[in-house]
Structure formats: structure tokens, C-alpha cells
Amino acid sequence: MTLDLHGLDAFCEWLAATPVSETIQTVDWIIPAVQTVHILCVAAVMSSVLIVDLRLLGVFARSLTVAGILRRFLPFIWWPLPLLLVTGATLIVAEPKRALENPVFLLKMALLLAAAGITLACQLPLRRNPAFWNEGSEHRGAAALVALCSLPLWIGIVFAGRWIAYVQVG
């Protein structure tokens, strides 16, 4: 085992022994309640992602412009993120090793970074040209590519989230 992991072990043990962590561990309802809030935020993100990506692919809601769909649903991808981070962090404080030493958790965070990057890439061109993704523009192929990368990434995040519970650590 590397020195690094010893450091992480020590950190996890320290964190798990703090009063905050002990409170979360001993009060029955906190973890399921926090997970419920977490999953409701995931619901907002995933539904918005699906609508945006299906529209980028051109298979859904074609009576609405891509720019219009993005304007409406991108906030529901970004806004829940702080709450997801806070609830996720609460779960980590409760059981630090369960997440921090879990390869599936690290995979989830990597996928999250990639998905956030793609979402930004989809959003930024609209600053200069609101019609960037619209029908008939030369960017239709790029739009479909963005959607085809984005959707599996976000679904992977959800799946990884569930698998954290099944991958035994330590």
C-alpha cells in the first residue's frame, strides 16, 4: 500500500470520528433524507439532460428551437449541482471510506467533470450566436455528437452512484 493511501485512510478515520459524522451516522433518518434530496436533484438534472440531448439529436420537440430548449432547461442542469455537492458531501462525511476509497466514486467524479465540460461546450457558442445549433445550420452534426457523448456520460454517473453502495472498500 502506498503512503498516499495511508494518508487517505488516516483522513477518513479522522473525519468519521468527528462529531458531525457521528451525528449523521447515529440519527437514523439523516442519510435516507439526504439521499432523497440528492436523488430529486438528479431527477431535475437527468430529465433536463434527456430533453436537451433528444432535441440536439433532432428526434424530439422539433417545434421548439434548440436555443429555446437550452435556455429553458440548462438552468435545471446547473442549479441542482450545488445542492448535489452539499448532499453528496454530507454522505461522504457520514462514511468517508465508502466513497473516498471507492474506485466507483472516483469514476463517478471523472464522468461528472466530463459531462459538465460537454454541457459547457454546448452552452458557450450560444453567447455569440443564439442560432448556433438551430436547424439548417452547419453545426447539426456537432450537435448530434454532443448529445451522443453527453447522454451516456450522465447515465454513467447515475449508474456509478448506485454501484458505490455495492463495491466493498477496505
Kindly tell me which residue out of 5, 17, 20, 43 binds other proteins, with binding defined by CB under 8 A: 43
CA distance 3 to 117: 32
C-beta of 6 vs 72, nearer to other proteins: 72
One-letter amino acid of 124: L
Which residues within the stretch 9-28 sit at the binding site for other proteins (CB under 8 A)? 28
By CB under 8 A, is residue 126 in contact with other proteins? no
CA distance 29 to 153: 31
Q: Are 56 and 143 in contact (CB under 8 A)?
A: yes
CA distance 96 to 89: 9
C-beta of 37 vs 144, nearer to other proteins: 37
By CB under 8 A, is residue 67 in contact with other proteins? no
CB of 70 to other proteins, least distance (A): 14
| Best CA proximity match to 66, nearest among 80, 54, 79, 50 | 54
C-beta of 19 vs 32, nearer to other proteins: 32
| Spacing of C-alpha 64 from chain mean position | 26
By CB under 8 A, is residue 81 in contact with other proteins? no
Kindly tell me which residue out of 24, 44, 118, 143 binds other proteins, with binding defined by CB under 8 A: 44
Q: Tell me whether residue 62 is exposed, middle or buried, using C-beta atoms within 10 angstroms of its C-beta: 0 to 12, 13 to 18, 19 or more.
A: exposed
CB of 145 to other proteins, least distance (A): 22
DSSP structural state of residue 165: T
State the cell numbers at 147: 448529445
By CB under 8 A, is residue 92 in contact with other proteins? no
CB of 46 to other proteins, least distance (A): 4
Residues interacting with other proteins, by CB under 8 A?
28, 31-33, 35-36, 39-40, 42-48, 50-51, 61, 64, 72, 155, 158-159, 161-163, 165-166
